[in-house]
Structure 1
Amino acid sequence: MARGEGVQTRSSSETSNQFSALDPGGRSFSDDARNPYFLSNSDYPGASLVPKILTGCENYSSWRRAMTVALIARNKLRFVNGKLLAPDEDDDDFELWNRCKSTVISWILHAVSNEIAESIMYMESATTIWTNLEERFNQKNDPRVFEAIKTKQSLAQGSSSVTNYFTRLKSLWDLIQEYRPQPACTCGAMKIIQEYHDED
């Protein structure tokens, strides 16, 4: 058999155009890392992106944070926050967009409990799923805030190391901050309040 005979290869133009998509601003992607349509070998639909699945309001905050970090690392956050809109169906990039959207939906389905997965299974858009979960589980939880403040006030180092004590304390601070975020401010007062918080 002659060298290369019977082996299917892609032409150079076909390879170079595999990820030739443009971003919403019309700029071409110079490398895969900047291309939201790029999927590496580890970005398969059944991949587990976060260590713990979403079970409800009690762990939504930490789950959302972990999922956001994972999606940013894979350059796929725009598929859930609505900033990367679907191209027209006759657009050359539509199939790439649709494949990535379906992959992101699969990641979300594998990162939630079976009960939650059943309720979002037939939603066509990753953005719709993300927004639906936000509306259902990111609720004000005054009892959790009360318990966190109460626990923080009574927390003592005891026999724990400084590192373990601070880790526990910071997790309580972060939980309170998540449910009671600081309002936007341009007068500079919030910066002072944040400095007081950091000192505490």
Structure 2
Amino acid sequence: MTTTDHDDTPGIADGRLVDELSTSTLLSAEEFKAAFRNHPAGVAVITADPGDGPVALTATSVFSVSATPPLLVFSVSELSSAAPAITRSTSVVVHLLGADQLGLARLCATSGVDRFAGGWAWERLGTGEPRFLAAPDWIRGTVVTTLQAGTSTLVVVNATHSSGSADESDRTDGRGARPLVYHNRTWHELSERSAV
């Protein structure tokens, strides 16, 4: 731990930095969104069932945190109709989407619709969570903790099961060759031609 001679520097330990950040206007919501439009993100669909029916949502906030233990994080906006059920769930399935699942991404990003009413085949895992069959790569995990962050909730998940191959070179079905990416309010697919 580093110490400083500047006693007037706000610090997280005494809460002054947190108070300062929460009361100051650093960026407007639109400025913040505009900055992130140039930052592409992978697309995933999160499914869960807290006991009162399956829910799903599209997320671009999924990222790995640790390999040992295997942890991932995603955020859920309070504006999502699936947010209350996702945040009450003790387990989730994270579907990592490719370009072939663009329709599924759009469906689960649409507010107020039943994502399980038909059109996309799904099943329940042996542990009870809903899983869309069209998504070849998925990770099932248990929710370790949640953290309220502004108008969203961060969900930390301990991965327990995965469909993905441990070695990409072992794949013969082409899965994962065309990842789906969201950039500047538009869906994109990556391919070997996009490599630099």
TM-score, structure 2 length as denominator?
0.23
Larger relative strand fraction: 2
Query: Which structure has the larger Rg over C-alpha atoms?
Result: 1
Larger relative helix fraction: 1
Of structures 1 and 2, the one with the larger relative CO (CA 8 A, separation 6+) is 2
